[in-house]
Structure 1
Amino acid sequence: MHIEIKKYVLQLQHPFGISRETHVTQDTMIICLTLNGKTGYGEATSNPYYKITVESMKAEIEAVQNNIETYDFDTPENFHTFLKSLGLQNFTLCAMDLAANDLYGKLQGKPLYEIWGTNTSYYPITNYTIGIDTIPKMVEKLQEKPWPVYKIKLGTSDDVAIVRELRQHTDSIFRIDANCAWTAEETLKNAPLLKDLGVEFLEQPLKADDWEGMEKVKKECVLPVIADESCIVESDVENCGGYFDGINIKLTKCGGLTPARRMIQKAKELGLKVMVGCMTESTVGISAIAQLLPQLDYVDMDGPLLLKEDIAQGVQILEDGKLIFPELPGSGIQLL
Structure 2
Amino acid sequence: MLQLTLHPVELPLRHAWTIAHGTRTVQRNLIVALHDPETGHTGYGEAPAIPYMGVTVEKMVAWFEGVRPTSTLNYITGIPEPGVVEDDWGLYGQDEPPFFPSGYADGFETQIKFAICAIDQAAHDLCAKNRDISTGELLHLDHQNSLLSNYTLGMDAPEVMVAKLREYPDFPSYKIKLGRPEADGGLEVDLAVLRRLREETHAVFRVDANTGWDAEQTIRASGPLRDLDVEFIEQPLPPDAPRSEHEAVYFGSDLPIMADESCQTESDVEKCAGLFHGINIKLSKCGGMTPARRMIAKARELDLKVMMGCMTETTVGISAVAQFLPLLDYVDMDGALLLAPGSDPADGVKLGTDGVAIFPEGAAAHGNGVTLNRELPTA
Q: Distance in 1 between matches of 2:324 and 2:283?
A: 11
Q: Give the drift of 1:82.
A: 11
Q: Distance in 2 between matches of 1:197 and 1:4?
A: 48
What SS class does the counterpart of residue 80 from structure 1 fall into? Answer: coil
Tell me whether 108-117 or 89-98 shows the greater mean CA deviation. Answer: 108-117
Q: Who is 2:46 aligned against?
A: 43
Q: Deviations over 1:164-190 (max 9, x none)?
A: 111011111100000000011000000
- One-letter amino acid of the counterpart of residue 285, structure 1: G
Q: Who is 1:226 aligned against?
A: 258
Q: Deviations over 1:225-274 (max 9, x none)?
A: 10000001001000001100000000000000000000000001100000
Checking the alignment, whether the CA contact within 8 Å between 2:103 and 2:291 is kept in structure 1 is no
Checking the alignment, whether the CA contact within 8 Å between 1:281 and 1:303 is kept in structure 2 is yes
Q: Give the drift of 1:325.
A: 0.9
Checking the alignment, whether the CA contact within 8 Å between 1:84 and 1:93 is kept in structure 2 is no
Checking the alignment, whether the CA contact within 8 Å between 2:333 and 2:351 is kept in structure 1 is no
Q: Give the drift of 1:81.
A: 3.9
Aligned counterpart for 2:173 among listed residues 131, 145, 149? 149
Q: Deviations over 1:267-318 (max 9, x none)?
A: 0110000001101110000000000000000011101111112110000211
What SS class does the counterpart of residue 313 from structure 2 fall into? Answer: coil
Q: Give the drift of 1:322.
A: 1.2
Q: Who is 1:303 aligned against?
A: 335
Q: Who is 2:286 aligned against?
A: 254
Q: How does 1:107-146 map to 2 (within 5 A)?
A: 107-146=130-169
User: Highest CA radius of gyration, 1 or 2?
Assistant: 2
- One-letter amino acid of the counterpart of residue 257, structure 2: V
Checking the alignment, whether the CA contact within 8 Å between 1:286 and 1:303 is kept in structure 2 is yes
Asked whether 1:160 is paired with 2:191, we answer: yes
Q: Distance in 1 between matches of 2:218 and 2:154?
A: 19
Q: Which runs of 5+ in 1 are unaligned?
A: none
Q: How does 1:53-202 map to 2 (within 5 A)?
A: 53-66=56-69, 67-69=71-73, 71=75, 73-74=79-80, 77=97, 79-81=99-101, 84=104, 89-146=112-169, 147-156=171-180, 157=186, 158-202=189-233
Q: Distance in 1 between matches of 2:232 and 2:220?
A: 14
Checking the alignment, whether the CA contact within 8 Å between 1:80 and 1:93 is kept in structure 2 is no
Checking the alignment, whether the CA contact within 8 Å between 1:123 and 1:296 is kept in structure 2 is no
Question: Aligned in 2, Cα 1:224/1:84: closer, same or farther, shift over 3 Å?
Answer: closer
Q: Distance in 1 between matches of 2:267 and 2:293?
A: 13
Q: Who is 2:366 aligned against?
A: 329
Q: Normalised by the size of structure 1, how large is the TM-score? A: 0.96
- Aligned length in residues: 336
Q: Distance in 1 between matches of 2:256 and 2:127?
A: 37
Q: Who is 1:34 aligned against?
A: 35
Q: How does 1:263-282 map to 2 (within 5 A)?
A: 263-282=295-314
Tell me whether 320-329 or 21-30 shows the greater mean CA deviation. Answer: 320-329
What SS class does the counterpart of residue 65 from structure 1 fall into? Answer: coil
Q: Distance in 1 between matches of 2:60 and 2:350?
A: 28
Question: Aligned in 2, Cα 1:214/1:330: closer, same or farther, shift over 3 Å?
Answer: same
Q: Distance in 2 between matches of 1:192 and 1:80?
A: 43
Question: Aligned in 2, Cα 1:115/1:38: closer, same or farther, shift over 3 Å?
Answer: same
Q: Who is 1:25 aligned against?
A: 26
Q: Which runs of 5+ in 2 are unaligned?
A: 81-88, 90-95, 181-185, 374-379
- One-letter amino acid of the counterpart of residue 175, structure 2: K
Q: Give the drift of 1:123.
A: 2.1
Q: Give the drift of 1:144.
A: 1.5
Q: Distance in 2 between matches of 1:98 and 1:276?
A: 15
Q: Who is 1:320 aligned against?
A: 354
Q: Deviations over 1:124-182 (max 9, x none)?
A: 21110000011111111111211221000001211111101110111111000000000
Checking the alignment, whether the CA contact within 8 Å between 2:97 and 2:138 is kept in structure 1 is no
Q: Give the drift of 1:79.
A: 3.8
Q: Deviations over 1:3-41 (max 9, x none)?
A: 000010111100010012111111000000011211000
Checking the alignment, whether the CA contact within 8 Å between 2:99 and 2:290 is kept in structure 1 is no
Tell me whether 85-94 or 141-150 shows the greater mean CA deviation. Answer: 85-94
Checking the alignment, whether the CA contact within 8 Å between 2:103 and 2:267 is kept in structure 1 is no
